[in-house]
Amino acid sequence: MTRNQVMQAERRPFSEPWTEAERRARGRFFLIEPSFWPGGGLPKIDFSNWDRLCLPGSFTIEPPTGDPDQYPEPPHLLHQPGRGKSNGLPRDFEMLAGLWIVSEPLKLVFQSVDPEAFAFTACTFTLWDGSPGPQLYLCNVLRVLDALDEAASRVKIRTGDYANGKYYDKAGGAALVFRTAVVGGAHVFRTPYSDAVFCDRKMRDELVAAKLKGVSLADATDC
């Protein structure tokens, strides 16, 4: 056995007809993540106090846990536009160093639909000219559900040297089918075997209605 073995064969190309399980699952759950910037751009922001927010002996900032004393000081973001075509101001949804950064409007949608699923930490944000920027938050999805129907899904399942013994690898695309009995009334969740976050139709519809910038929503059966 190799150190990181793929348990399932390479996923089949997506072409109709869909499997019956995929057909029933379409439109129920969605992969939610920050969208790519047009032209390969990036938000021109950075942490000014990165080293003070990292755990001792670590070079990463842990996502918020809901503990008000988790960080020794509030995260401070700086706007650094440089000379690019875009001023790089963050959209409602961004990813920086593996951390979700969300705006006040996005935070309100998340909290209105599923308040128990999230943890937030308020950031200070300074624009390039020294003036205060709009309110931003570090955001984390706390709910973890082992809800993937592996037999009905098309995804590479890697085993070996992973935190929980295996990893769902979506590289190249995947068709994910979730067990609704396990998801229950949850509107957003992650799995133990992936960093990806998924939401249900209600959360998706609220996000679309809010017309927020930077939010990508892909059907879980074609992600």
Q: Distance between alpha carbon 64 and the CA centroid of its chain, in Å?
A: 13
Higher pLDDT, 141 or 164: 141
The pLDDT assigned to 163 comes to 81
For residues 118 and 110, is the Cβ–Cβ distance under 8 A? yes
Higher pLDDT, 81 or 123: 123
Can you give the pTM of this predicted structure? Answer: 0.88
- DSSP characters for 137-191? EEEEE--B---B-TTT-B-EEEEESSTTSEEEE-TT--B--B-HHHHTT-SEEE-
Nearest-angstrom CA–CA distance, 117 and 186:
8
Q: What pLDDT, in 10s, does the model give residues 44-86?
A: 899 999 999 998 888 899 999 999 999 999 999 999 886 454 5
Using alpha carbons, select from 140, 136, 126 the residue that is nearest to residue 98.
Answer: 140
The pLDDT assigned to 181 comes to 97
- Interval 197-223 mean pLDDT: 96
